């Protein structure tokens, strides 16, 4: 997909979104090119920090409107070859889509590449708002990603009254966290519900020997769309799809899990196994590297979104993108049958996995660090 913003009257195009033509102040249209052919090729053999895997190819693709865009790929192409992305209905497929100014288009493509079924659903969106932080810090889910998701859901016919954004803030005041992260304003703009999970009714649920108190708000929905920030984590290695769901349990359940970290690692997998009908939209627009997931981490600026029906597969692919070590809770969840943690069983669609890899700073783990 190639995006351009066009003024038909002036016959001018922009690579980035603008509201009005800077020449005539007229209407701007979004031009989306989907039929792409390779018109140029260059091979790179020298690695650098953002591009450590060599050799790789830079191809120049041209769409049906004559617009051109460079793409980094590992696959070999010839001039005149068609460039396209195939969707997959494999349950463990993971899509990787780079954000090119337009969050909506990135979210839409990521979800459509995994053939997400969102029609006629009562949906709960579960972002990561664990503390009062501004979006640019990368600690909480980027509201631009959620805005793109809301636009996509509404476009697909999901009624606003059937959409709920819900989270349980761990550090600080909930109202302050919702406001500072941009979610209070976003919920008001779209007319959707914003729910503090800590104030909801919790239901006892027993799975694989674990007793969880899970928010009823989660259990009664037709579909959960889990939208974690993709981050490194001092204790777990990474914080992503699996870890983000831990905040749907009661404070009492969390405190019980916190007493035994080895037990907690298994509990993360069991909890995710007990929640039916959910998919993940991984927010890697900024992300965190180093001693995350909190303020001691550093922004990673990955500028992409990931999507999958399989939370284990999505977390595994994030570790591969960042050239990080396997996270124990991801492997345990894979062993429990929550999803696929073996690359052999995971189909990556959208961007090529090796073309997205870059070395992220790992977290220096400590058993003194709490689970969240």
How many Cβ atoms from other residues are within 10 Å of residue 122's Cβ? 14
- Residue 181 near residue 129, CB atoms below 8 Å: yes
Closest by CA to 94, choosing from 344, 326, 359, 311, is 311
What is the predicted pLDDT for the residue at 369? 39
**Domains of the chain, with CATH numbers?**
2-83 (no CATH), 94-356 (3.40.50.11440)
Instruction: Supply the pLDDT for residue 259.
Output: 82
| pLDDT for residue 293 | 87
Tens of pLDDT, residues 44-85: 999 998 999 999 999 999 999 999 999 999 999 999 999 999
Helix (H, G, I), strand (E, B) or coil at 196: strand
Output the pLDDT for position 292. 86
| 31 phi, psi to nearest 5 deg | -105, 120
Q: Cα dist. 235→217, 262, 372 in Å?
A: 28, 11, 8
Prediction pTM value: 0.94
pLDDT value, residue 254: 87
pLDDT at 170: 86
Give pLDDT < 50 ranges for the chain.
Answer: 366-372
pLDDT (0 to 100) of residue 120: 86
> What is the pLDDT, as a whole number, of residue 368?
39
């Amino acid at each position: 997909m190639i995006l351009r913003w066009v003024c038909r009257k002036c016959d001018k195009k922009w690579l980035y979104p603008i509201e009005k033509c800077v020449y005539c102040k007229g209407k701007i249209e979004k031009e989306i090119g989907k039929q792409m052919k390779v018109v140029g090729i260059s091979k790179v053999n020298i690695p650098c920090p953002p591009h450590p895997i060599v050799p790789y190819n830079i191809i120049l693709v041209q769409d049906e409107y004559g617009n051109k865009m460079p793409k980094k790929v590992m696959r070999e192409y010839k001039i005149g070859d068609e460039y396209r992305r195939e969707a997959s209905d494999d349950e463990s497929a993971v899509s990787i889509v780079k954000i090119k100014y337009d969050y909506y288009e990135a979210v839409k493509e990521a979800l459509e590449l995994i053939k997400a079924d969102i029609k006629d659903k009562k949906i709960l969106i579960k972002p990561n708002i664990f503390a009062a932080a501004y979006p640019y810090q990368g600690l909480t889910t980027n509201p631009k990603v959620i805005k793109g998701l809301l636009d996509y859901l509404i476009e697909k016919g999901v009624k606003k009254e059937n959409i709920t954004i819900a989270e349980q803030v761990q550090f600080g005041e909930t109202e302050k966290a919702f406001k500072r992260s941009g979610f209070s304003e976003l919920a008001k703009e779209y007319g959707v519900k914003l729910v503090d999970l800590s104030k909801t009714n919790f239901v006892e649920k027993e799975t694989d020997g674990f007793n969880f108190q899970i928010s009823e708000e989660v259990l009664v929905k037709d579909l959960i769309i889990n939208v974690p920030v993709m981050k490194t984590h001092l204790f777990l290695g990474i914080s992503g799809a699996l870890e983000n769901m831990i905040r749907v349990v009661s404070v009492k359940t969390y405190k019980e899990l916190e007493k035994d970290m080895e037990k907690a690692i298994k509990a993360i997998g069991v909890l995710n196994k007990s929640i039916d009908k959910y998919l993940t939209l991984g927010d890697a627009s900024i992300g965190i590297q180093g001693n995350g997931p909190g303020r001691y981490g550093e922004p990673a600026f990955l500028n992409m979104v990931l999507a999958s029906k399989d939370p284990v597969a999505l977390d595994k692919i994030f570790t591969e993108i960042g050239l990080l070590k396997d996270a124990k809770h991801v492997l345990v969840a894979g062993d429990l049958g929550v999803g696929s943690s073996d690359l052999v069983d995971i189909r990556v669609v959208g961007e090529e996995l090796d073309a997205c890899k870059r070395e992220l700073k790992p977290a220096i783990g400590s058993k003194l660090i709490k689970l969240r």
